[in-house]
Structure 1
């Protein structure tokens, strides 16, 4: 198969959505949604997509790639109105809901119908939604495969478009075998878009298997942080991590904050500890019910809660505007996870801060991250040692309250009574549940993989 063409990135005046060739109903929807000018990925991808080409898009979270694939699909749907038209595969449930919302917003004037098919929700009501012949299905792979196997009358045989969003993450989460099954159930004659933040070997293999003579558009460096992001670190002994976190929360009380933890156990524990101390915090992780996950996101996005304590389920793909500060309670094992986490703030030209808690065991990881950032060093966040000492007793007590509350909830040691069948023996490591729900065998997780 020939290598994908490289799209031209020569310097030209900034185009408008109209000059890119979009039709009036979409231009009106873009105006209503306050989309003023195309982003880089939209500028590069739309002309090729509107010509009917397969697209490989390499772009980071927050680059506007959802509209880059939604707009050409909706334009083609306007020209050829019909039943099930496009299927979008997403790695997490929250991202699937977000993509559906954008399709519905952009396609409002066209009466576009979307169905969101994800794990953790009732299969029967989803089957009813599919029977109503939506134009767009946005799904996590495990649950989509369940419906292909078990829902009478549902198929993807008439599909015109397939989109694989966050493809690197889809494959990181062991969805590869399920995607292979889905590819066999859809027409060979189709248009395919593959979007990914990084081009891993697995993504390149998927590209060769699923795309035909694609155009590749790439608008971001592999690893980078924006210039409007101020990056700090705090160094402390491991036993003093909690008190330093609460000191930061006190110092930043007027800001919207996302705190990232490595495990489900710590996400739950830290959120309870914060609430005990009077901070409006909500947790977001893979062991919550789907309604709880969506509720936590809605509260944080609306400003009803100022602090979101999350595992890496929230580090990519989700459009959470106006995050002032990202705090890494744990240093990420992989540098790219750091990039994705801190990318939750300083978006769309705004400024933002990231603060990483560093213990004596994390120095090598921090040096590796700084090396990935081209040697850019984080600054030391100033602290008041006396204030930290005064907080110590209250924080220790709140920590005991959190542990006791988790024991009452059945989350002993982060494992809980419902042990996760991920085959890895580490039940508190976060991941989407759809692999398990689809009945697929899963591989043992490598250390540090989220």
Structure 2
């Protein structure tokens, strides 16, 4: 069995790995860490849940141990949640070193972030847009002392149109630096970014493009569209006590489904991009701590979030492509554990489902049907209908209150402008 020490990791960091329960390195860590420790630029391609964060955090922390001067490393991530999570992992692994990290993301106070940057952190974890804001507007802040640059979830960084911000950051960092790029897939955009940012990189791949792990049990449930909520509640009830993520397409449906489940006595919290940052982190913490065992989310939760104990993923809405499907179901069956996914398929989803099925099972194998007791499912129909109506009223009232509040704010602003005139 390979150990972290065998990869060249120093005793202090090996002890931190043991304290965090990392028994042995994952495949991506075995492949990427030795090259990074040798000072080579690395491109790491690995499926979700493979231990990518530690694959770049360990070499960065080890290099920092040898040369703890100034702002040492910047890690770029596509979402706020992933940035906070990466920072937590750096702090956990580097707890014995007194490592200082700062998270710089949108939706938070710029001034408070400027103060945090002035305290000379060793590592900045950021979303690209907000990091550029500070490079352009925060006096005294620069990336001139940077020794390491990490691009995590690079394919998603580019899918989310961070290209112009990345170009500005690459111009602001020293040419003499180490660069690590991690991605689930090698798209043409990622190849272009690789050519612009890495020097003679080593490419390590530990998974085929578009693959799900063997410990994941996948199934489908074909239901009429009009009864979809009823069958969802049936599934949730069947899995009572297990932790699960329910993926839906829109922010509005996220709120609606979470409300329906709560009205029926299930501990559900919503997570979507229109929530404030504090509300998003609050929902995530409730789910991670086990305070709530159901997370109803858009694709904002599909990638990067390290939530170890997710027993099941339910696709209430199927994603539009196979890549998104693989990232969603990759929230469960992580780090060698087993897990299950159930896909709710209606008459309107058949084409998308068959396309996903063909990608996931290229040898013409079919996805298993979820064992369904239709009579038991339809027992929930009346109660679900009542919960749907109550949820619609609550959402309408909330929306009306928001509009009133907005109108009051606009009226107050107008009154102030008139007084000034």
Could you state the TM-score of these two structures normalised by the residue count of structure 1?
A: 0.87
Determine if contact 2:47/2:211 at 8 Å carries over to the other structure. no
Aligned-residue offset at 1:15: 2.4
Sort the Cα spacing of 1:56 and 1:99 in 2 relative to 1 into closer, same or farther, 3 A.
Answer: same
Counterpart in 2 of 1:274?
261
Counterpart in 2 of 1:305?
292
Determine if contact 1:410/1:417 at 8 Å carries over to the other structure. no
Counterpart in 1 of 2:380?
391
Could you say what secondary structure the match of 1:37 adopts?
A: coil
Determine if contact 1:265/1:411 at 8 Å carries over to the other structure. no
The question of 1:178 aligning with 2:165 is answered yes
Sort the Cα spacing of 1:240 and 1:295 in 2 relative to 1 into closer, same or farther, 3 A.
Answer: same
- For structure 2, the 5+ residue unaligned runs are 407-421
Counterpart in 2 of 1:88?
75
The question of 1:244 aligning with 2:244 is answered no
Could you say what secondary structure the match of 1:246 adopts?
A: helix
Aligned-residue offset at 1:27: 1.6
CA RMSD of aligned residues (A): 1.6
Aligned-residue offset at 1:84: 0.3
Residues 281-430 of structure 1: matches in 2 within 5 Å?
281-373=268-360, 374=362, 375-410=364-399
**In 2, Cα distance between the equivalents of 1:145 and 1:400?**
45
Aligned-residue offset at 1:417: 9.9
Aligned-residue offset at 1:416: 12
The question of 1:265 aligning with 2:252 is answered yes
Could you say what secondary structure the match of 1:259 adopts?
A: strand
The question of 1:216 aligning with 2:206 is answered no
Aligned-residue offset at 1:75: 0.9
Counterpart in 2 of 1:8?
none
- For structure 1, the 5+ residue unaligned runs are 1-13, 419-450
Please say which structure displays the higher CA radius of gyration. Answer: 2
**In 2, Cα distance between the equivalents of 1:231 and 1:411?**
41
**In 2, Cα distance between the equivalents of 1:135 and 1:45?**
22
Out of 165, 176, 194, which is 1:189 matched to? 176
Aligned-residue offset at 1:385: 2.1
Aligned-residue offset at 1:390: 2.5
Could you state the TM-score of these two structures normalised by the residue count of structure 2?
A: 0.93
Counterpart in 2 of 1:421?
none
Query: Which structure carries more helix by proportion?
Result: 2
The question of 1:107 aligning with 2:94 is answered yes
Counterpart in 2 of 1:67?
54
Sort the Cα spacing of 1:244 and 1:409 in 2 relative to 1 into closer, same or farther, 3 A.
Answer: same
Could you say what secondary structure the match of 2:132 adopts?
A: helix
Residues 116-195 of structure 1: matches in 2 within 5 Å?
116-195=103-182
Question: What count of residue pairs does the alignment treat as equivalent?
Answer: 403
My pick for the range that moved more, 215-224 or 398-407, is: 398-407
Counterpart in 2 of 1:234?
221
Determine if contact 1:257/1:308 at 8 Å carries over to the other structure. yes
**C-alpha distance after superposition, 1:269-294 (max 9, x if no partner):** 10011101111000011111111111
Could you say what secondary structure the match of 1:326 adopts?
A: strand
Could you say what secondary structure the match of 1:184 adopts?
A: helix
Determine if contact 2:50/2:334 at 8 Å carries over to the other structure. no
Counterpart in 2 of 1:201?
188
